């Protein structure tokens, strides 16, 4: 147990999962710093904060591993466990050690009360309302994530997120704009809007397109990116706003499956033809836009023909990047009891095949931009050992940039794409 919260107390943060969790970790960091603690990953800490994830079995295991590692690192340290795993597994987590303090997601903005173990924290546990977290920085990143929405009402049959994050709710446009201005004043050149179900943003009469319009009006040299949006939530109004030069021509639209029978069992709210029609419309309306996506393979009952439909759908979409997941049965979801399960060896083969297919899709997409001028945000976290810097273009092509200098980090730099191969893209500064 921490003896006293003071300037000498050291904390360490560990984060698993999505961009929302990364945003919330930054908010936790700022609370702890304001509370008089200091962050030092190289020292034995007095406080360990583990921001967990529970989207897959692997995430559960890794969360528990980080908890046990923290317990062993300093036998006197306080261990704060928060994030999605604690929403349904708090009792099990508490049995690991009596040093663990559970902070539910909706109380992350009161972490200091939980750290001090005050009566105030106990009252908050019993009677809570959603309150948005706030940040003024985004440590170790050149792009700043801003959470504008939480929760999900979709209830896909395989997904535990609505159970642990609750129903959809959103923060006010005024608070979003204020936070964006603060981050821009701190030197950030790219703002990534994120949420658990970002497209479901709704605050009174304002939707996601209205938020983008408000941010677009800020007079500063920066760009805006959306993190992820469900296909059924990509409206014509949103597409019209996305044509702004200040908004990155990139949409991450999860596919999950390209087969109608599987989509129906997943409780996804679109068909294969709906998805393909949307992608065609998006590409018509927005010049040079990149589509990135997710696919979930090995869903219960997925046959070879269903799998082939997914592969052909991906080949038509031509995604720049594809996140490939295997089905992970999650307790409390409908699909937890779905059978027959696809054999692990078959799932492994399908994942390897899709990896090869989508690598070719990416190569074909990137070739369209050879010898064209793009804008890269250089990132220090992607610096290579040989000194060549990397970053992301406005349409999310990760690019190795020749001629870039250390002083260009965090800047929006004009480049010309010179060559691409299966794994990388190479550009030259166009000064």
pLDDT tens track, the chain, 431 positions: 344 444 459 999 999 999 999 999 999 999 999 999 999 988 889 999 999 999 999 999 999 999 999 999 999 999 999 999 999 999 999 999 999 999 999 999 999 999 987 545 555 544 445 567 999 999 999 999 999 999 999 999 999 999 999 999 999 999 999 999 999 999 999 999 999 999 999 999 999 999 999 999 999 999 999 999 999 999 999 999 999 999 999 999 999 999 999 999 999 999 999 999 999 999 999 999 999 999 999 999 999 999 999 999 999 999 999 999 999 999 999 999 999 999 999 999 999 999 999 999 999 999 999 999 999 999 876 555 466 899 999 999 999 999 998 889 999 999 999 999 999 999 999 97
Quickly list DSSP for 404-430. --GGGTTSEEEEEEEEE-SS-EEEEE-
Q: Classify 186 as helix, strand or coil.
A: coil
Please identify, in words, the CATH class of the domain defined by 10-126. alpha beta
pLDDT for residue 2: 42
Q: What is the pTM of this model?
A: 0.94
- CATH match for 134-248 among 3.40.470.10, 3.30.750.210, 1.10.472.50, 2.40.50.100: 3.30.750.210
Domains 134-248 and 250-368 share a fold: yes
pLDDT for residue 8: 53
Do the bridges between strand 290-297 and strand 206-207 make them parallel or antiparallel, or are there none, so unpaired? unpaired
> What residue segments make up the domains of the chain, in order of their start?
10-126, 134-248, 250-368, 373-429
| Alpha carbons 208 and 211: distance in angstroms, whole number | 5
Domain 373-429 falls in which CATH fold? OB fold (Dihydrolipoamide Acetyltransferase, E2P) (2.40.50)
Domain 250-368 falls in which CATH fold? Transcription Regulator spoIIAA (3.30.750)
Angle between helices 304-317 and 272-285 (to 10 degrees): 10
pLDDT for residue 5: 47
Nearest to 253 by CA among 287, 227, 289: 227
Nearest to 155 by CA among 41, 79, 46, 267: 267
Nearest to 201 by CA among 226, 164, 236: 226
pLDDT for residue 386: 61
């Amino acid at each position: 147990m921490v003896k006293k919260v003071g300037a000498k107390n050291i904390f360490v943060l560990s984060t698993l999962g999505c961009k929302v969790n990364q945003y919330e970790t930054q908010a936790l960091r700022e609370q702890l710093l304001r509370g008089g603690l200091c962050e030092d990953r190289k020292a034995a800490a007095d406080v360990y904060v583990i921001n967990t994830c529970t989207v897959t079995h692997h995430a559960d295991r890794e969360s528990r591993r980080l908890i046990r590692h923290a317990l062993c690192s300093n036998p006197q340290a306080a261990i704060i466990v928060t994030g999605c795993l604690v929403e349904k597994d708090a009792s099990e987590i508490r049995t690991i050690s009596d040093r663990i303090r559970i902070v539910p997601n909706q109380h992350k903005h009161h972490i200091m009360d939980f750290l001090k173990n005050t009566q105030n924290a106990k009252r908050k546990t019993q009677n809570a309302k959603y309150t948005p977290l706030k940040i003024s920085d985004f440590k170790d990143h050149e792009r700043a994530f801003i959470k504008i929405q939480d929760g999900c009402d979709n209830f896909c049959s395989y997904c535990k997120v609505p159970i642990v994050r609750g129903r959809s709710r959103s923060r006010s446009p005024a608070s979003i704009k204020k936070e964006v201005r603060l981050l821009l004043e701190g030197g950030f050149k790219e703002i990534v809007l994120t949420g658990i179900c970002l497209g479901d943003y709704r605050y009174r009469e304002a939707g996601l397109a209205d938020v983008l319009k408000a941010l677009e009006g800020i007079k500063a040299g920066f760009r805006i990116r959306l993190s992820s949006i469900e296909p059924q939530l990509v409206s014509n109004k949103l597409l019209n706003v996305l044509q702004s030069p200040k908004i990155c021509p990139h949409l991450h639209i999860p596919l999950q499956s390209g087969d109608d029978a599987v989509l129906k069992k997943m409780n996804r709210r679109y068909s294969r033809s709906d998805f393909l029609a949307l992608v065609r419309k998006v590409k018509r309306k927005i010049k040079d836009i990149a589509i990135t996506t997710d696919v979930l393979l090995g869903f219960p009952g997925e046959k070879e023909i269903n799998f082939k439909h997914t592969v052909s759908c991906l080949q038509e979409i031509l995604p720049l990047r594809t996140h490939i997941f295997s089905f992970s049965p999650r307790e409390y979801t409908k699909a937890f009891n779905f059978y027959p399960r696809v054999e692990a060896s078959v799932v492994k083969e399908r994942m390897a095949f899709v990896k090869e297919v989508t690598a070719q899709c990416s190569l074909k997409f990137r070739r369209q931009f050879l010898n064209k001028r793009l804008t890269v945000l250089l990132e220090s976290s992607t610096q290579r050992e040989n000194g060549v810097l990397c970053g992301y273009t406005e349409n999310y092509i990760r690019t190795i940039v020749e001629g870039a200098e250390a002083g260009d980090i965090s800047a929006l730099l004009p480049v010309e794409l010179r060559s691409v191969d299966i794994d990388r893209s190479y550009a030259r500064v166009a000064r």
